[in-house]
Amino acid sequence: MSELELFWIGLTNAFSPFNFMMMLTGLTIGVLAGALPGITMLNAIVLVLPFTYSMDIVPSLLLMTAVYGGGIFGGSITGILFNIPGDPMNVPATWEGYALNRKGHVAKALGVAIMGSALGGFLSCLVMTLVSPPFAKIALSFSSAEYFAVVFLGLVSVVVINTKSMGSSLICLFLGMLLGTIGIDDVYGAARFTFGSRLMETGINFTIVLIGLFAIGEVLDQLCERDKVTDPGLKERPKVHLMTPREIWALKGPLLRGFGTGTLIGAIPGAGATVASFVSYGVERQVSKKPEEFGKGSWEGLNSTSSAINASVGGAMIPLLTLGIPGSGATAVMMGAFLLHGIQPGPLLFTKDPASVYTIFSGMLLCNIVMILAGWICAKFFSELMRVPENIMGAFIIVFCFVGAYALRNDSSDLWYMALFGIGGYFMRRYSLPVPPLVLGVILGPLAERYFLTTMIGANNDISVFFTRPVSAAIIVVSIGMFFWPMLQSRLNKRRTGKSCAAA
Partner 1 sequence: MKKHGLKWVGFALVLALMLGASTAFCQEKYPSRPIDFICTWGVGGGSDQMVRMLAKLTEPFLGVPLPVSNKPGASGNSGTTDLLAAKADGYTIANYIADTLATIPTGQARYKMDDIEWIVRTQNMPSFLFVKTDGPFKDIQALLKATQENPGKIKMAGLGFGTIDDITLRYLAGKGHKMTLVPNPNPGERYASVLGGHNEVLYEQAGDIRQYLDAKQLKPVMVFAESRFPAFPDVPCSKELGFNIFLPQFRCVIAKKGVPAEHIKTLVAAFEKAMQTPEWKKFNEDQYADPASYMGGDQFKAWVAGEMNSMEKLMKEFGIIK
**Smallest distance from partner 1 to CB 60, Å:** 12
Cβ proximity to partner 1, 336 vs 486, nearer residue? 336
Show the CA angle centred on residue 265, arms to residues 261 and 271, nearest 5°.
Answer: 135
Q: How many residues bind partner 1 (CB under 8 A)?
A: 50
- Residue 240, SS3 per DSSP: coil
How far is the C-alpha of 391 from the C-alpha of 388, rounded, in Å?
8
Q: Is 463 one of the binding residues for partner 1 (CB under 8 A)?
A: no
- H or E element that contains 306: helix 299-323
**Considering the rule CB under 8 A, would residue 180 count as an interface residue with partner 1?**
no
324 binds partner 1 (CB under 8 A): yes
325 sits near partner 1 (criterion: CB under 8 A): yes
Task: Specify the residue, 140 or 392, whose C-beta has the smaller distance to partner 1.
Answer: 140
Measured from the CB atom, is 285 or 450 closer to partner 1?
A: 450
Q: Does 39 bind partner 1 (CB under 8 A)?
A: no
**Distance, CA of 161 to CA of 166 (rounded, Å):** 8
> Any residues with CB less than 8 A from the CB of 116 and at least 6 apart, and which?
251, 254, 255, 258, 302, 303, 304, 305, 306, 307, 310
Rounded CA-CA distance 179/160 in Å is 21
| Smallest distance, partner 1 to C-beta of residue 456, A | 10
Question: Sign (positive/negative) of CA torsion 314, 319, 324, 329?
Answer: negative
Binding segment (CB under 8 A) for partner 1, from list 89-97, 198-206, 370-378, 388-396: 198-206
Question: Among residues 308 and 349, whose Cβ is nearest to partner 1?
Answer: 349
Helix (H, G, I), strand (E, B) or coil at 184: strand
Which x/- pattern, by CB under 8 A, does the window 409-448 give for partner 1?
A: xxx-------------------------------------
Residue 66 CB, shortest distance to partner 1, in Å, is 17
Minimum CB distance to partner 1, residue 86 (Å): 21
Q: How far is CA 258 from CA 117, 220, 437, in A?
A: 10, 33, 21
Q: What is the CA radius of gyration of the chain?
A: 22
Window contacting partner 1 (CB under 8 A); options: 109-117, 186-194, 271-279, 397-405: 186-194
Between 106 and 271, CB nearer to partner 1: 271
Among 194, 248, 454, 483, binds partner 1 (CB under 8 A): 454
Compute the distance between CA of residue 42 and CA of residue 504 in angstroms, rounded to an integer: 60
Spatial neighbors of 467 by CB under 8 A, at least 6 apart, are 473, 476
Contact flag: residue 337 with partner 1 (CB under 8 A): yes
Minimum CB separation of residue 477 from partner 1 in Å reads: 21
Does position 147 bind partner 1 by CB under 8 A?
Answer: yes
DSSP per position, 401-432? HHHHHHHHHS-THHHHHHHHHHHHHHHHHHTT
Q: Do 215 and 37 touch, CB atoms closer than 8 A? A: yes
Could you say whether residue 333 binds partner 1 (CB under 8 A)?
yes
Q: Does 354 bind partner 1 (CB under 8 A)?
A: no
Q: Which residues bind partner 1 (CB under 8 A)?
A: 46, 49, 53, 139-144, 147, 184-189, 198, 201-202, 269-270, 319, 323-327, 332-337, 339-340, 342, 344-348, 409-411, 450, 453-454, 457-458, 460
